[in-house]
Structure 1
């Protein structure tokens, strides 16, 4: 089972979520993919994602988290001992999202969310150390203007890492890496550590 966790102000209709859904459908594995709509409360979002993840044995489970979803995926992976792919994951959202308290529009939707001040403390509660880096696959873009890729590389030191030269926070060129992501998700216990640098499209 693959569980995709979208980022802040995103939704199951995000481009990366739909790319994953299409690739798995083409493989006849659409029933092995879940992408829940995460509520704005970090505590509620993490609880929802954890409950969904717990329906699958850890060795048969892989999480894919984008941005804030990567922060949640790390918390769940440390609890359950499953694999996780992190796409430009949030490193310190309790700090970064203080500027976004209040009503916010949602990408790929006409909905709005109300990001409350108490959610900052909820984010702090979910901060967890990485104890088994070999279970993680980090994809970070040097062109990410939202999260410093150097902080991502440091946070997930020892994990498998792919540093894309260029690209952006949204990973507009994600489709180039989807097969590598799915291969890691299928591998039992991850596929070891190591850093790989590639030149992205810069888009």
Structure 2
């Protein structure tokens, strides 16, 4: 049985970002179902979309077949969903405290898909603070794989390692927030998700 992978993109991004596309191409070549929705920038709407999607997929799939991936803000959502629904998850340079880190983005923001502007509001930050799980997380090396690069210019990787003390950790020196050379990892991520299926 193959995993079904739900990828959750980061702030201002979309389901066609570079990491999502790398995973999409790998999964297509290996007959693995892959879903990367383009979510609303409004956290309450994004969260509703994600919870409905997870619940519908879980109802159709075998137990533990649905697996999550998230990058940056998507990592925040993916971690919260993994805890809520007891799912395996891979987190790539995730934001663990998205309400705090995205407070600095208040005002005009840019959607990377078409460079269109949108407003990032205080109420959105408050929603993220309400969604934040309790830390440290109870996720284990069997259920959570954290991939971080120390050169992340937007997030301190140590926040993620502290919040996920019992997860599987891969800490690479250097790199950046986009996670340099992510294309090295799709095969390993699928193997991680496939274990015990």
Q: Same fold (TM over 0.5)?
A: yes
Separation in 2, partners of 1:46, 1:186: 26
Question: Size of the alignment, in residue pairs?
Answer: 187
Separation in 1, partners of 2:17, 2:45: 20
Q: Equivalent of 1:3, from 1, 6, 10?
A: 6
Separation in 2, partners of 1:131, 1:43: 25
> Please, what TM-score do these two structures have when normalized by structure 1?
0.87
* 1:35 aligned partner: 36
Q: By how many angstroms is 1:38 displaced?
A: 1.2
Alignment partner of 1:83 is 2:92? no
Contact preservation (8 Å) 2:139, 2:164: no
Alignment partner of 1:15 is 2:18? yes
Q: How does 1:1-203 map to 2 (within 5 A)?
A: 1-29=4-32, 32-57=33-58, 58-129=63-134, 130-134=137-141, 135-188=143-196
Runs of 5+ consecutive residues of structure 1 not aligned to the other structure: 190-203
Contact preservation (8 Å) 1:40, 1:114: no
Deviations 1:29-84 (A, max 9, x none): 2xx11111111111211121111112233501110000000000111111100001
Separation in 2, partners of 1:172, 1:106: 21
Q: Once superposed, which parts of structure 1, at least 4 consecutive aligned residues long, lie more than 4 Å away?
A: none
Contact preservation (8 Å) 1:59, 1:188: no
